[in-house]
Copies of this chain bind each other. A is one copy, B any other.
């Protein structure tokens, strides 16, 4: 499969795929005699993996680390476990912060939906977040 096909089915662009290859997120592909990249269909799954990681707030560098672990087919050393532990802690904190923010914004929103004068007291509004 050529890069445009892969990009379309994975919902991204050829630019992005070349960028991912450059960044080590996608391994260099086979090339056709003309020099065109020749992808296997499994690449789509890998790109989906990257997208799921991004949707969850990971950086490409973090996703690349996870992919590297996965690619090695084994994740034995303490270093890797520590890396995942650290990531977990970070994610727990992000989750807590996000949940708190959701509640705060929900309150602000309710206030926005209910524009009675007394609910518009600046002192009260300023307590949020």
Chain B nearest Cβ from A10, distance in angstroms: 15
Q: Count A interface residues, CB 8 Å.
A: 47
Q: Which residues of B contact A1 (CB under 8 A)?
A: none
Q: Does A125 contact B (CB under 8 A)?
A: yes
Task: Given A109-B81, A129-B66, decide whether A115 and B53 contact each other with a Cβ distance below 8 A.
Answer: no
Main secondary structure, interface of A, reads helix
Q: Which residues of A pack against B, CB within 8 Å?
A: 49, 52-53, 55-58, 66, 69-70, 73-77, 80-81, 84-85, 87-88, 91-95, 97-102, 105-106, 108-109, 111-113, 115, 120-122, 125-126, 128-129
Q: Which residues of B contact A100 (CB under 8 A)?
A: 52, 56
Are B128 and A70 in contact, with the CB atoms below 8 A? yes
Q: Which residues of B contact A55 (CB under 8 A)?
A: 93-94, 97
- From A52, which residue of chain B is reached at the shortest CB distance? B129
Are A84 and B70 in contact, with the CB atoms below 8 A? no
30 CB contacts below 8 A, A to B, read A52-B97, A52-B101, A52-B129, A55-B93, A55-B94, A56-B98, A56-B100, A57-B97, A66-B129, A69-B125, A70-B126, A70-B128, A73-B120, A73-B121, A73-B122, A74-B120, A74-B122, A74-B125, A75-B111, A76-B120, A80-B112, A81-B109, A81-B112, A84-B109, A87-B105, A88-B102, A88-B109, A91-B102, A91-B105, A95-B99
